[in-house]
Copies of this chain bind each other. A is one copy, B any other.
Amino acid sequence: MSPRTSPPGDREAAQVAGAPLRADAARNVAQIRAAAIAAFRGRGLDTPLEEIAAAAGVSKATIYNRFGGRAGLIDAVIGKLVAAEMYAIMDKALQVADPWQAIATYVTDRRDLQYREPAFTDALLMTYPDSGQLAAIATAAIDMTISLVQRGHDAGVIRRDFTAEDLYYADVANGLALRKLPRPARQDYDRRIRFFLDSLRPR
């Protein structure tokens, strides 16, 4: 069972083109999207909607009109935020022939994404299960770790007692620390990634 690496229902065209938006509504959608991306980057997916609305120059109610609520807004921008990169990271890892290198590449790239986009941790945690895109990312990420760890065990390149859950737990822990603590210097962060990778090798 190799994991899915593309989103189930890619709705880049936010509105599904059921009915064309009026000019002012379309303009607002664009402004809200831009504001949401910036806000989610800076403060996480739990940024107050009122703040996003203010940044977009509209009223809070307009976000509800256009996106239905937070989950809809997340669905509309998560692709730009993390989904695209996440699926690229998974594809890249799947193409690495050496089982250990596949794991190392995947873990390194994923931690890098986590460092640059804290919102990715929200995806892992399924903080907003109402967002289909978010749930899809979480599922795909979990499938991916299961697959990679299986490959690693078959090839004997990771310690026997290491499980996919261990990897998931470690990534979530790292993401939570990134949000609560002052962001570590990149060199410290990278060093800790090396520690973690080293701890996976057979003894």
Cβ of A130 within 8 Å of any chain B Cβ, yes or no, is no
- Chain A 174-203 residues near chain B, CB threshold 8 A: 174, 176-177, 180-181, 184, 188, 191-192, 195-196, 198-200, 203
Is A181 a contact partner of B169 (Cβ separation < 8 A)?
Answer: yes
User: A103 to nearest B CB, angstroms?
Assistant: 14
Cβ of A165 within 8 Å of any chain B Cβ, yes or no, is yes
Closest residue of chain B to A196, judged by CB? B199
Is A177 a contact partner of B172 (Cβ separation < 8 A)?
Answer: yes
Is A195 a contact partner of B162 (Cβ separation < 8 A)?
Answer: yes
Cβ of A125 within 8 Å of any chain B Cβ, yes or no, is yes
Copies of this protein in the complex: 2
Find the residue from A165, A173, A180 having the highest chain B CB count within 10 A. Answer: A173
Return the contact of A173 from the options B161, B166, B173, B188 (Cβ within 8 A).
Answer: B173
Interface size class of A (residues with CB under 8 A): 20 to 34
Please classify the interface of chain A as helix (H, G, I), strand (E, B), loop, or mixed, using the class held by over half of its residues.
Answer: helix
User: A32 to nearest B CB, angstroms?
Assistant: 29
Return the contact of A176 from the options B161, B177, B198, B199 (Cβ within 8 A).
Answer: B177
Q: Which residues of B contact A200 (CB under 8 A)?
A: 195
Q: List 22 A-B contacts (CB under 8 A).
A: A125-B180, A159-B195, A162-B195, A163-B188, A165-B184, A166-B188, A166-B191, A166-B192, A166-B195, A169-B177, A169-B181, A170-B192, A172-B177, A172-B180, A172-B181, A173-B177, A176-B176, A195-B199, A195-B200, A196-B199, A198-B203, A199-B199
